[in-house]
Every structure is written in structure tokens, then in C-alpha cells.
């Protein structure tokens, strides 16, 4: 082939194109060698992603969190732990996960009090929390993080000895389910009988009076009043009827109980048959109800009015709708509003009071400088029977968090799989069973006979 200027230019162009293509190929290979992760959660209720509440809690944790996983070299166990922690690391990069084989480091296992293979030890700010292998889920993990953030012990003390709702009893009337959730969040609960112990313990964070059924003795009433005078936080769950000797406490707080009980006919639109069950669907601005959008129900409640004494700042945070009223007569099967006797709604069901503590607390945080009291005209809404109704549990948790000056910590709801169960009627089960045992084989046999017949006719 004769070499000409034109052929030389063509050769140089081919070489240049080859070089460009070679560089592009090398670049593509380098790009393909880099790992790019994309995460998408298509599960029902997005149960493979963190809830907004967990994400919000992670934003409140300052500094690194160290998680030590005591797990043997079992790929399945370690993979499950890593999957859970990676969800948290996505929003907080300074969560450090360290695996320890308990077989090779037995002394470290004993020093940290580990008792199970797969147990996690969370450490933050000098505080530690343990997470057992059967608790490997978001709710348990976030609860553990909340417990780490609580400074010191939080004791919720229940007044006992007068037929009150008991913190660890299992009856429908009692509040053990609510208390169990409090304990999961790092609180400690106990009951105190003032007939046996003349004073309320000094380490009480919140005193709970949950609907006494008999009158308190004068000495017990005095002990409660002195606790309030000392600046103690109080949650008073009252009910319609007599206040069992606590009228002096109501006067001390400036709280008045309306005669009768609340009637709310609007609840029938929600499928609730009893007019004596009131519902709250919207909430006045308050730290307890901040970002709270769940309905709460209050069976057999009493309305409140508030005229706080000097030094107290009070406001309502639970109020029924305009379709309710305070029924001063007997609650019959069919009730009607009486303009001359009854009190037209909205009716206040819950109030909060705050006042400044002594000068010793002036340098503390806002919650430490304030004494906080909550009075609610119903105790049944936190009882075992009614706690599972829509937002009752979350409201109860928010109230105690606010009273204990932990309102920045929020209640984390359990995330459940919406598609984890399939319920079939007997007829549906029979149709499916007949279809697989008889229908499907008959269909296959029929299609085979049709194909055989057509081939034979050819």
C-alpha cells in the first residue's frame, strides 16, 4: 500500500480514537469497580426503616455512642446485628459498632456483666445499657438510647392503700401496662402507703394519685400537701364523684371539679356506643401535646376548671369538642342536654400547672427550675383496659416525660408489619384447598388432552 499524506492522517486519527476509547474503557472499569449503595424500603409500614421518632431522638444525642456486640463468629447473628445498627448509623455516623467474641475474651464478658450470646452493651457519656438478643428491634434499641439519655434515676411513686389503681397489678382497673412501658423507657416505679411511711420519699420524681376509692387520713393528706409545698411534681388522676379528702389539695392548686360527668355524643360517629366516653381530637398548644395528632379517649371523665393561686401558672391541654357537655344528672341510657342544669362544652379534661422552685434551682435547666403538676379528670384512660385505645399510651408517656423534665424524649411507637398475617374464612380455605388438590391437576390434565388431540388430527 502506498503511503500518502492522506493515509498518514487517517492512521493518526485511528490511533487517537483508539487511545480515547482505551481511556474511556479504563475509566468505565474504574467506575464499575466502585461500590454504590442504594437503599429503598418497600415493606408495609416501612418497617425496615427507622421511624421519624427514632430519627428525631438520634438528633438529640450529642457525642459518640459505642455499641459492643458480644457475639460468637456466627455470620447470621452478626449480620442481623449489623443490619439493625446500620439503620442508626445512617442518621448518626458516630455510632461505633465493635464485635467481641465472648469465647476469646471471657474476662471482658464478666467485667461488663454480659450473660447472653448476641447481647449488646450501649455506652454513652459514662452510662451503659444492655440489650438482650431477643430485643433486636427498633423499639427496644431506641428505648435503650432513651434510657442512656436520662440523667440519674427517675422514680414514679404511686400513692397506695386507698383502692387506687396499682402500678404492678394486672386487673383491668390497674395501670401495670402503662408502668411497664415507663420502665422500658428508664423510669422506676413503686407504690408507697403513707399509713406505713409517713412521708413521700425524697427521690420521688413524680407522685401519682390514681383515683383513691376511700378517704385519705388527715396525716396522709398533710404529707401530700407538704410534698407539693416542697416543690414535688404531681400527676393527679381523678374521677367523677367525691375527692376522698383531697379537696384541700385541689384548693391548694386552684383546681375545681365540675359536678357530674362528661357526656360526648360525637364519639358515636367514631363507633363508640357509650356517650359517657369522651374523645379529644385536637389539642391546645402545650409541650405535652407538641406534634401530637392522635385521638385520645376518656371513659367516665369529670370536667375541670382552673383558677390557680398566686405563683402558679396554669393552662388546659386536654379539651373535648363542642358536641360535649357536663351532665349534672344521672347517666341514663339516653341523655339529653339540659340548658338549665348542664354545662355546655367544650369541657376541659386536663390541666397543667407550673411555678418556680426555690432559689437553689435558679441555675438549672428549665425543667429543674420549675415545679410541675398535671391534673386529669379521668384515670381510666391509662388503665389496662383502655390504654390501647389510639393515642392513650402516647399521651400518658408524654405527660410523665414533661413532669420529669424529659419532654425532649418522645415515645417511640412499636412498628408492626401490616401484611404479616392472612385470615381466611372456612369457605375461602375450602376453595383454595380444592383448587390445589383437584382443580389445578384437572386443568393440567385437560390442557394435556387438548394438545394430544390437536396433534393427532394433523
Q: Please state, in angstroms and rounded to a whole number, the distance separating the CA atoms of residues 55 and 89.
A: 10
Q: What is the pTM of this model?
A: 0.70
For the domain made up of 46-147, the CATH class stated in words is: alpha beta
Domain ranges of the chain: 46-147, 153-403
- Residue 333: alpha-carbon gap to chain centroid: 36
> What is the grid cell recorded at 94?
458516630
The answer to whether the 46-147 and 153-403 domains have the same CATH topology is no
CB 390 within 8 A of CB 294: yes
Cβ-based neighbours of 346, under 8 Å, separated by 6 or more: 319, 320, 321, 322, 324
CB 243 within 8 A of CB 221: no
Helices (H) and strands (E) in the chain, counts: 12, 18
Fold annotation for 153-403: Rossmann fold (3.40.50)
Give pLDDT, residue 359.
47
DSSP assignment letter at 199: S
Q: Please state, in angstroms and rounded to a whole number, the distance separating the CA atoms of residues 373 and 249.
A: 12
Q: Is 27 exposed, middle or buried (0-12, 13-18, 19+ CB in 10 A)?
A: exposed
Q: Please state, in angstroms and rounded to a whole number, the distance separating the CA atoms of residues 178 and 146.
A: 17
Q: What is the DSSP string of 417-431?
A: -TTS-----HHHHHH
Going by C-alpha positions, the residue among 344, 347, 401, 392 that lies closest to residue 374 is: 401
DSSP assignment letter at 168: S
**Total residues found in the chain within this entry:** 458
> What is the grid cell recorded at 313?
401558672
- Residue 296: alpha-carbon gap to chain centroid: 14
427-453: string of b/e by CB count within 10 Å (b at 16+)? Answer: eeeeeeeeeeeeeeeeeeeeeeeeeee
Q: Please state, in angstroms and rounded to a whole number, the distance separating the CA atoms of residues 203 and 232.
A: 10
Give pLDDT, residue 361.
45
Cis peptide before 346 (omega within 30 of 0): yes
CB atoms within 10 A of CB 400: 26
Q: Please state, in angstroms and rounded to a whole number, the distance separating the CA atoms of residues 377 and 33.
A: 66
1-10: string of b/e by CB count within 10 Å (b at 16+)? Answer: eeeeeeeeee
Q: H helices of 282-326, where? A: none
Going by C-alpha positions, the residue among 393, 375, 394, 376 that lies closest to residue 384 is: 393
CB atoms within 10 A of CB 321: 17
Q: Please state, in angstroms and rounded to a whole number, the distance separating the CA atoms of residues 82 and 80.
A: 5
Give pLDDT, residue 59.
85
Beta strands (DSSP E) in 49-118 are: 65-70, 95-100
Average pLDDT, 10 consecutive residues per value, the chain (458 residues): 75 87 88 70 69 83 92 89 91 92 90 89 88 86 83 86 93 94 89 89 94 93 93 94 92 93 79 80 90 90 88 92 86 77 90 79 58 94 91 92 77 50 78 85 88 83
- Residue 45: alpha-carbon gap to chain centroid: 16
Going by C-alpha positions, the residue among 349, 146, 154 that lies closest to residue 240 is: 349
Going by C-alpha positions, the residue among 56, 39, 57 that lies closest to residue 48 is: 39
Residue 164, CB-side half-sphere exposure with 13 Å CA sphere: 27
Q: Please state, in angstroms and rounded to a whole number, the distance separating the CA atoms of residues 166 and 210.
A: 8
Q: Please state, in angstroms and rounded to a whole number, the distance separating the CA atoms of residues 436 and 249.
A: 71
The CA–CA distances, whole Å, from 337 to 130, 269, 301, 328, 334 equal 55, 18, 17, 10, 10
Amino acid at each position: 500500500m502506498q503511503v500518502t499524506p492522506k493515509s498518514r492522517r487517517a492512521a493518526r486519527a485511528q490511533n487517537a480514537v483508539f487511545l480515547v476509547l482505551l481511556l474511556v474503557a479504563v475509566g468505565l472499569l474504574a467506575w464499575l469497580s466502585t461500590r454504590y449503595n442504594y437503599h429503598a424500603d418497600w415493606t408495609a409500614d416501612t418497617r425496615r426503616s427507622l421511624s421519624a421518632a427514632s430519627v428525631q431522638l438520634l438528633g438529640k444525642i450529642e457525642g459518640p455512642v459505642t455499641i459492643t456486640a458480644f457475639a460468637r463468629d456466627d455470620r447470621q447473628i452478626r449480620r442481623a446485628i449489623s443490619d439493625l445498627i446500620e439503620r442508626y448509623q445512617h442518621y448518626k455516623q458516630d455510632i461505633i459498632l465493635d464485635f467481641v467474641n465472648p469465647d476469646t475474651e471471657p474476662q471482658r464478658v464478666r467485667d461488663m456483666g454480659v450473660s447472653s450470646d448476641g447481647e449488646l452493651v450501649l455506652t454513652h457519656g459514662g452510662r451503659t445499657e444492655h440489650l438482650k438478643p431477643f430485643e433486636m428491634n427498633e423499639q427496644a434499641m431506641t428505648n435503650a438510647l432513651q434510657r442512656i439519655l436520662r440523667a440519674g434515676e427517675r422514680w414514679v411513686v404511686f400513692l397506695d392503700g386507698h383502692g387506687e389503681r396499682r402500678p404492678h397489678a394486672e386487673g383491668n382497673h390497674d395501670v401495670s401496662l402503662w408502668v411497664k412501658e415507663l420502665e422500658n423507657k428508664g423510669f422506676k416505679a413503686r407504690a408507697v402507703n403513707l399509713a406505713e411511711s409517713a412521708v413521700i420519699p425524697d427521690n420521688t420524681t413524680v407522685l401519682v394519685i390514681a383515683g383513691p376509692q376511700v378517704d385519705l387520713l388527715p396525716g396522709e393528706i398533710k404529707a401530700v400537701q407538704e410534698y407539693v409545698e416542697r416543690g414535688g411534681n404531681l400527676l393527679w388522676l381523678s374521677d367523677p364523684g367525691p375527692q376522698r379528702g383531697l379537696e384541700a389539695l385541689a384548693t391548694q392548686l386552684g383546681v375545681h371539679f365540675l359536678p357530674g360527668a362528661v357526656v360526648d355524643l360525637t364519639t358515636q360517629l367514631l363507633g363508640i356506643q357509650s356517650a359517657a366516653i369522651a374523645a379529644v381530637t385536637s389539642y391546645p398548644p402545650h409541650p405535652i401535646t407538641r406534634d401530637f395528632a392522635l385521638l385520645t379517649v376518656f371513659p367516665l371523665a369529670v370536667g375541670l376548671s382552673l383558677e390557680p393561686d398566686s405563683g402558679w401558672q396554669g393552662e388546659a391541654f386536654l379539651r373535648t369538642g363542642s358536641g360535649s357537655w357536663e351532665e349534672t344528672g344521672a347517666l341514663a341510657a339516653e341523655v339529653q342536654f339540659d340548658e338549665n342544669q348542664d354545662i355546655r362544652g367544650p369541657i376541659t379534661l386536663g390541666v397543667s400547672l407550673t411555678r418556680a422552685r426555690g432559689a437553689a434551682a435558679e441555675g438549672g435547666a428549665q425543667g429543674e427550675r420549675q415545679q410541675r403538676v398535671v391534673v386529669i379528670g379521668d384515670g381510666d384512660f391509662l388503665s389496662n383496659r383502655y390504654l390501647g385505645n389510639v393515642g392513650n399510651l402516647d399521651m400518658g408517656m408524654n405527660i410523665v416525660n414533661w413532669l420529669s423534665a424529659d419532654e425532649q424524649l418522645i415515645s417511640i411507637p412499636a412498628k408492626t408489619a401490616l401484611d404479616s398475617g392472612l385470615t381466611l374464612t372456612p369457605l375461602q380455605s375450602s376453595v383454595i384447598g380444592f383448587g390445589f388438590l383437584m382443580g389445578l391437576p384437572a386443568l393440567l390434565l385437560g390442557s394435556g388432552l387438548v394438545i394430544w388431540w390437536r396433534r393427532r388430527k394433523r
